[in-house]
C-alpha cells in the first residue's frame, strides 16, 4: 500500500486513520469516516479503488469539485471520470461506455442521477467494488446542509447488495451521525473518527475597531496568497471587494445573488490563482476545494460555531501553516439577533439564539480558542494552551480585578438580576438613557461607578467573570446576567480576584511569527509561476499540477536530479515523468544564480513549520550588522561571506517579517527606476530575465537589493 501511495499519489506516509480505513474497505466492509476538512478523506477511497478489481463509485453533491478531483486523479495517471449535469448527453454517453468496458477505476456521480431509472440500469451493469459517499451529512435533515437528493442513495444498497459502502463527512454532530448511519443502513460499519484539531491553523479574534485598516495590514502580510473573506450580506461582499480592488488587491465578490455565469467565473478565477481574494457570503466554499488558502477572514460574526469551524476549515487543507482571523464587535451580535427575531418557527428561532450565543462566548473567550473549539465538538485537547491562537500567543497581563468585579456584581444584584450585559454596562458607566431613567436606576449607588473602564473592557471583564462562574448568564434570546454559583461567596468572603487585562488581539497577530516556514520565497515564486503556466496550458487549476507543500519543499531542498525530485511530497511516477525535467531545470538555474546547493531530503519528512529566524542563527548575526547600518560589502567582509549570501540573509530577514530598517540600502532613485521598469517588463520577480534586459550595468546583488524595495 505504501508503494501505491508513493507511486500514484506521491506521498510517503499515511495521515492518521487513512491506512485503517483503507484496510477496512479492502476487507469489503462498510466504514463511516468522520475527519476534518483537509484530513485526507479522498485518499481513503481513491487508493483502495486502485487495488480492488472493479470500479469505485463516488457520490458527491459538489459538482464544481468533481472536475477538479478527476483532473487531479488524471494528473496522477489514474483513470477517472465524472457524470453530472455539466456534461452534454454525448459526453455522458462516452463516459458510460468507458465505465462499461472497465477502463475507469473511479467514477464520480451527482446524487440526483440516482433517481433516474436509466442511470440505475446503467449502474447495475457495472462491476462496482466500493461505493463512497462524500459529504454524507447531506443526507440528514438535522445537519446544516440537507440535500433532498441524498435520499436517493438508499437505492444503491438495493442495486449493489454486499458492496462495501464508505460514508465520509467533516461535519456531523452525534445526532447527524446516527441519522447517517440509520439512513444508509450502516449499522455494521466501523466508525472512524479522527481528531478535529487542525494543528496548522492559527486562530485569532480581533476587536472590530478600525477593522478595515487592520484587514489591509493583514492582507499585505499575505500578498500573493489565496484568501477568503466572509461577510454578512451580499451587499457587504460587493462593497468590500470593490474597496479592496481600489487598494490594488485582486479581489472578487461571491454570493448566491450573482448571476450564475458571473459567479462561476469569479470562482474559477480564484481557483486558478488569477484572483487572490474572494469576498463571499457563506454560500461560498461548498463548491471549492482549493488546498492552498492561507487566510480565512470572518469580517462579520458567523452564525454558529459549526459554520465558523467549517469555514475556517477551508484554510490550509494542504497542511501548511494558515491563519483564521475573526473581527468581532457587539454590534454584529445585535445585527444577527435582529435577523433571528424574524424567524417564525419557535424551535428554530431558539436554536438560532443558542448558536449565536455560543459564538459570542467563543469571541469573548480569555482561554485557549483551539481548546474551546475542540471541546465544542466533544474532543479534549491535550494541554491548556495550544500556542497557536491569539490568547495563547499573547501573554496575558493580569490585574487586580477585585474592585471592578465587586462593582459589576453589585450592579447586577441592585438591578434585580433582570438585565443583560449592555444594560448593566450602561448603568456602570453612567449612561444617560431613557430606559435607565424610567426605572430610576440613575439613583442607584452603582450608577456611573465604573466610568474609568471603557464599554469594551467591561464587556470583556464580564465575559471572564461568567467563565469563572461569578456571574451567570441565563436565557438565550435576551441573555440576562445574574449571580453565579461562586458569586455569593465572592461577595461574602471579600475574596481577591485576578483577571487578565483586556487588550486587543491585534498586537498578538502582529507579533505572530511562530508559523513561518523555512524556504526560499523567491524560488517559490518562480515555481509558482511555472506551475501557473503549465496549469493554464492544460486547463486545470494550478494545485492539480503541484500543491503548495510540494513547491515549498522544492524551494527548501532544491532538488536537481530526477531521483531527489521524486522524493518531494506529491511527486508520484506520473508527475515525475511529466514535470520532473522542467521543474528541476528552474531549480538548477536558480541555485546556480544564487550560489545555493541542493539539500538532503529526509525521507518522508515534510518541510516543517518552524520559526524562520532563530536567535543566535546566522541570520541574527547579519541582522545585528544591518542595525549598525553597514554596507553589504562591509558586512560580507566582517562575516567572511560573499555579498550574495549577505543579501540573501537580508531577504530572508525581511520576508520573515523581522522589524529591521534597511532603507539605508535603497539604491538611488535613478537606478531604482531603471530596475523597477526592467522587473515590470520581465513580468516576474526572477533575476535572470531582468539582467538580460539591463545588461551588465547592475550586479545580481544590486538587483536583489532593489527587488526588496520593490516588494514592500
Residues lying near ligand ADP in the complex (CB under 6 A)? 11, 13-15, 18, 35, 37-43, 289, 291, 317-318, 547, 569
**Least spacing, CB of residue 704 vs Zn ion, in Å:** 38
11 binds, among ligand ADP, Zn ion, none (CB under 5 to 8 A by kind): ligand ADP
Q: Cβ contacts of residue 301 below 8 Å, gap of 6+?
A: 232, 326, 328, 329, 332, 333, 335, 336, 356, 359, 360, 363
Q: What is the smallest separation between the CB atom of 317 and ligand ADP, expressed in angstroms?
A: 5
Which of Zn ion, ligand ADP, none sits in contact with 42, Cβ below 5 to 8 A by type?
A: ligand ADP
Which one, 11 or 119, has the nearer CB to ligand ADP?
11
From CA 132, how far away is CA 381, in angstroms rounded? 30
> Cell 527606476 belongs to which residue?
673
Q: Is 494 exposed, middle or buried (0-12, 13-18, 19+ CB in 10 A)?
A: exposed
Choose from ligand ADP, Zn ion, none: what does 389 bind? Cβ within 5-8 Å by kind.
Zn ion
Q: Which does 487 bind (CB under 5 to 8 A by kind): ligand ADP, Zn ion, none?
A: none
Output the smallest distance, CB 307 to ligand ADP, in A. Answer: 17
Which three three-digit cell numbers place residue 623? Answer: 541582522
What is the smallest separation between the CB atom of 516 and Zn ion, expressed in angstroms?
A: 18
CB distance 393 to 505 below 8 Å: no
By CB under 5 A, residue 303 contacts Zn ion: no
Minimum CB distance to ligand ADP smaller for 191 or for 334: 191
Per-residue burial over 154-182, b if 16 or more Cβ lie within 10 Å, else e, is eebeebbeebbbbbbbbbbbeebbebbbe
Q: Which is nearer to ligand ADP, 171 or 394 (CB)?
A: 171
List 298's β-bridge partners, or say none. 230, 326
Closest CB to ligand ADP among 75 and 497? 75
Name the minimum Å distance from CB 508 to Zn ion.
11
Pick from ligand ADP, Zn ion, none: which does 144 bind, CB < 5 to 8 A by kind?
none
Query: To the nearest whole angstrom, how small is the minimum distance from the Cβ of residue 366 to Zn ion?
Result: 11
Specify whether the backbone of 255 is left (phi greater than 0), alpha (psi in -120 to 50) or beta. Answer: beta
Question: What value does the CA radius of gyration of the chain take, rounded to a whole number of Å?
Answer: 28
Q: Give the span between the Cα atoms of 331 and 57, in whole angstroms.
A: 48
Q: Taking the complex as a whole, how short is the minimal distance between the CB of residue 168 and ligand ADP, in angstroms?
A: 7
User: Is the CB of 233 or the CB of 467 nearer to Zn ion?
Assistant: 467
**Smallest separation (angstroms) from ligand ADP to the CB of 220:** 27
Task: Tell me whether residue 138 or residue 253 sits nearer to ligand ADP (CB atom).
Answer: 138
By a kind-dependent CB cut-off of 5 to 8 A, residue 368 interacts, out of ligand ADP, Zn ion, none, with Zn ion
Q: State which residue, 547 or 559, has the beta carbon closest to ligand ADP.
A: 547
| Residue numbers 367-426 binding Zn ion by CB under 5 A | 368, 370, 386, 389, 392
Question: How many chain residues touch Zn ion (CB under 5 A)?
Answer: 5
Question: Binding partner of residue 392 among Zn ion, ligand ADP, none, CB under 5 to 8 Å per kind?
Answer: Zn ion
Q: Considering beta carbons, is residue 195 or 618 the nearer one to ligand ADP? A: 195
Q: Is residue 315 helix, strand or coil?
A: coil
DSSP conformation letters of 575-631: HHHHHHHHHHHHHHHHHHHTT-------TT-PPPB--SS-TTSHHHHHHHHHHTT--
CB of 44 to ligand ADP, least distance (A): 8
Closer residue to ligand ADP, CB minimum distance, 30 or 318: 318
SS3 569: coil
Q: Is 67 in the site for Zn ion (CB under 5 A)?
A: no
Q: Which does 386 bind (CB under 5 to 8 A by kind): ligand ADP, Zn ion, none?
A: Zn ion
Smallest CA-to-CA distance from 710 within 688, 677, 661, 670 is with 677
- Residue 367: Cβ within 10 Å count: 15
Q: Hey, CA dihedral for 50, 51, 54, 56, is it positive or negative?
A: negative
- CB 684, min distance to ligand ADP, A: 26
Least distance in angstroms from the C-beta of 546 to ligand ADP: 10
φ, ψ for residue 486, nearest 5 deg: -100, 0
As a dihedral over the C-alpha atoms of residue 441, residue 442, residue 445, residue 450, rounded to 10 degrees, the angle is: 110
Beta strands of 348-474 (E only): which ranges? Answer: 398-400, 471-474
Shortest separation between residue 276's beta carbon and ligand ADP, angstroms: 19
- From ligand ADP, Zn ion, none, which one binds at residue 584 (CB under 5 to 8 Å depending on kind)? none
Q: From the list ligand ADP, Zn ion, none, which binds 370 (C-beta under 5 to 8 Å, kind-based)?
A: Zn ion
327, 299 contact by CB (below 8 A) = yes
Binding mask 185-224 toward Zn ion (x if CB under 5 A, else -) reads ----------------------------------------
Q: CB of 370: closest distance to Zn ion in angstroms?
A: 5
The site partner of 336 among Zn ion, ligand ADP, none (C-beta below 5 to 8 Å per kind) is none
Q: Which of 431, 386, 541, 476 is nearest to 74 (CA)?
A: 541
CB of residue 292 to ligand ADP, shortest distance in Å: 9
How many angstroms separate the Cα of 528 from the Cα of each of 298, 524, 574? 27, 6, 20
Which of 408, 403, 593, 592 has its CA nearest to residue 498?
A: 403
Question: What angle separates helix 632-639 from helix 643-655, to the nearest 10 degrees?
Answer: 110
Residue 464 binds which entry of Zn ion, ligand ADP, none, CB below 5-8 Å type-dependent? none
* Beta carbon nearer to ligand ADP, 143 or 487: 143
Task: Find which of ligand ADP, Zn ion, none residue 37 binds, CB within 5 to 8 Å per kind.
Answer: ligand ADP
516 near 609, Cβ under 8 Å? Answer: yes
| Residue with Cβ nearer ligand ADP (288 or 412) | 288
Determine if 33 is a binding residue for Zn ion (CB under 5 A). Answer: no
| Residue 319 C-alpha from the chain's centroid | 10
Residue number, 14 or 160, with CB nearest to ligand ADP: 14
DSSP line for 204-248? EEEESSSHHHHHHHHHHTTTTSEEEEE-SSHHHHHHHHHHHHHTT
Closer to ligand ADP by CB, 14 or 519: give it: 14
Collapsing DSSP to helix, strand or coil, 440 comes out as: coil
Specify the residue, 38 or 48, whose C-beta has the smaller distance to ligand ADP: 38
Q: Which residues bind Zn ion (CB under 5 A)?
A: 368, 370, 386, 389, 392
Amino acid at each position: 500500500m505504501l508503494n501505491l501511495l508513493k507511486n500514484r499519489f506521491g506521498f510517503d506516509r499515511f495521515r492518521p486513520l487513512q491506512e485503517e480505513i483503507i484496510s477496512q474497505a479492502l476487507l469489503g466492509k462498510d466504514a463511516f469516516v468522520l475527519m476534518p476538512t483537509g484530513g485526507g478523506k479522498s485518499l481513503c477511497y481513491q487508493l483502495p479503488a486502485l487495488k480492488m478489481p472493479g470500479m469505485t463509485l463516488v457520490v458527491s453533491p459538489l459538482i464544481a469539485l468533481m472536475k477538479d478531483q478527476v483532473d487531479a486523479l488524471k494528473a496522477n495517471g489514474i483513470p477517472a471520470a465524472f457524470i453530472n449535469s455539466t456534461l452534454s448527453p454525448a459526453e455522458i454517453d462516452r463516459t458510460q461506455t468507458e465505465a462499461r468496458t472497465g477502463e475507469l477505476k473511479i467514477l464520480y456521480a451527482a446524487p440526483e442521477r440516482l433517481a433516474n431509472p436509466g442511470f440505475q440500469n446503467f449502474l447495475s451493469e457495472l462491476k462496482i467494488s466500493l461505493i463512497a459517499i462524500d459529504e454524507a451529512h447531506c443526507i440528514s435533515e438535522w445537519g446544516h446542509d440537507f440535500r433532498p437528493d441524498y435520499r436517493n442513495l438508499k437505492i444503491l444498497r438495493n442495486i449493489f447488495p454486499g458492496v462495501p459502502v464508505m460514508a465520509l463527512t467533516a461535519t456531523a454532530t452525534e445526532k447527524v451521525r446516527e441519522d447517517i448511519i440509520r439512513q444508509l443502513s450502516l449499522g455494521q460499519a466501523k466508525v472512524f473518527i479522527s481528531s478535529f484539531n487542525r494543528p496548522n491553523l492559527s486562530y485569532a479574534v480581533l476587536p472590530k475597531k478600525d477593522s478595515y485598516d487592520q484587514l489591509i495590514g493583514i492582507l499585505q502580510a499575505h500578498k500573493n496568497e489565496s484568501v477568503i473573506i466572509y461577510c454578512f450580506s451580499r451587499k457587504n461582499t460587493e462593497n468590500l471587494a470593490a474597496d479592496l480592488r481600489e487598494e490594488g488587491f485582486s479581489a472578487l465578490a461571491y454570493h448566491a445573488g450573482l448571476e450564475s455565469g458571473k459567479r462561476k467565473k469569479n470562482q474559477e478565477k480564484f481557483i486558478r490563482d488569477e484572483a487572490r481574494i474572494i469576498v463571499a457570503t457563506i454560500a461560498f466554499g461548498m463548491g471549492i476545494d482549493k488546498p492552498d488558502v492561507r487566510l480565512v477572514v470572518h469580517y462579520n460574526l458567523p452564525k454558529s460555531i459549526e459554520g465558523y469551524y467549517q469555514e475556517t476549515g477551508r484554510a490550509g487543507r494542504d497542511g501548511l501553516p494558515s491563519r483564521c482571523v475573526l473581527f468581532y464587535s457587539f454590534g454584529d451580535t445585535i445585527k444577527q439577533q435582529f435577523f433571528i427575531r424574524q424567524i417564525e418557527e419557535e424551535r428554530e428561532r431558539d436554536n438560532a439564539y443558542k448558536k449565536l450565543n455560543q459564538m459570542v462566548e467563543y469571541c469573548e473567550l480569555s482561554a485557549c480558542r483551539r481548546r474551546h473549539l475542540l471541546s465544542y465538538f466533544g474532543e479534549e485537547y491535550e494541554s491548556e494552551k495550544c500556542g497557536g491562537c491569539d490568547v495563547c500567543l499573547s501573554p496575558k497581563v493580569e490585574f487586580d480585578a477585585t474592585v471592578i468585579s465587586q462593582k459589576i456584581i453589585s450592579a447586577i444584584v441592585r438591578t434585580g438580576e433582570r438585565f443583560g450585559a449592555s444594560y448593566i454596562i450602561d448603568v456602570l458607566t453612567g449612561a444617560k438613557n431613557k430606559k435607565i431613567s424610567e426605572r430610576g436606576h440613575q439613583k442607584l449607588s452603582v450608577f456611573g461607578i465604573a466610568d474609568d473602564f471603557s464599554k469594551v473592557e467591561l464587556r470583556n471583564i464580564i465575559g471572564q467573570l461568567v467563565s469563572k462562574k461569578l456571574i451567570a448568564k441565563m436565557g438565550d434570546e435576551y441573555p440576562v446576567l445574574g449571580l453565579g454559583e461562586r458569586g455569593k461567596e465572592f461577595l461574602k468572603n471579600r475574596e481577591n480576584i485576578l483577571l487578565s487585562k483586556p487588550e486587543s488581539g491585534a498586537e498578538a497577530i502582529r507579533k505572530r511569527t511562530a508559523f513561518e516556514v523555512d524556504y526560499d520565497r523567491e524560488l517559490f515564486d518562480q515555481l509558482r509561476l511555472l506551475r501557473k503556466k503549465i496549469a493554464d496550458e492544460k486547463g486545470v487549476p494550478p494545485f492539480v499540477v503541484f500543491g503548495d507543500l510540494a513547491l515549498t519543499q522544492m524551494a527548501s531542498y532544491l532538488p536537481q536530479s530526477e531521483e531527489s525530485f521524486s522524493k518531494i511530497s506529491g511527486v508520484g511516477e506520473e508527475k515525475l515523468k511529466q514535470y520532473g525535467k522542467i521543474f528541476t531545470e528552474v531549480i538548477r538555474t536558480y541555485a546556480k544564480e544564487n550560489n545555493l546547493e541542493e539539500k538532503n531530503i529526509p525521507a518522508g519528512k515534510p518541510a516543517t513549520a518552524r520559526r524562520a529566524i532563530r536567535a543566535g542563527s546566522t541570520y541574527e548575526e547579519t541582522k545585528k550588522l544591518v542595525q549598525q547600518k553597514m554596507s553589504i560589502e562591509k558586512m560580507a567582509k566582517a562575516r567572511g561571506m560573499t555579498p550574495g549570501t549577505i543579501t540573501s540573509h537580508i531577504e530572508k530577514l525581511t520576508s520573515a517579517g523581522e522589524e529591521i530598517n534597511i532603507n539605508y540600502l535603497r539604491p538611488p532613485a535613478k537606478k531604482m527606476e531603471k530596475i523597477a521598469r526592467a522587473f515590470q517588463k520581465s513580468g516576474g520577480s526572477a533575476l535572470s530575465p531582468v539582467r538580460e534586459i539591463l545588461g551588465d550595468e547592475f550586479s545580481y546583488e544590486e538587483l536583489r537589493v532593489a527587488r526588496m524595495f520593490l516588494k514592500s
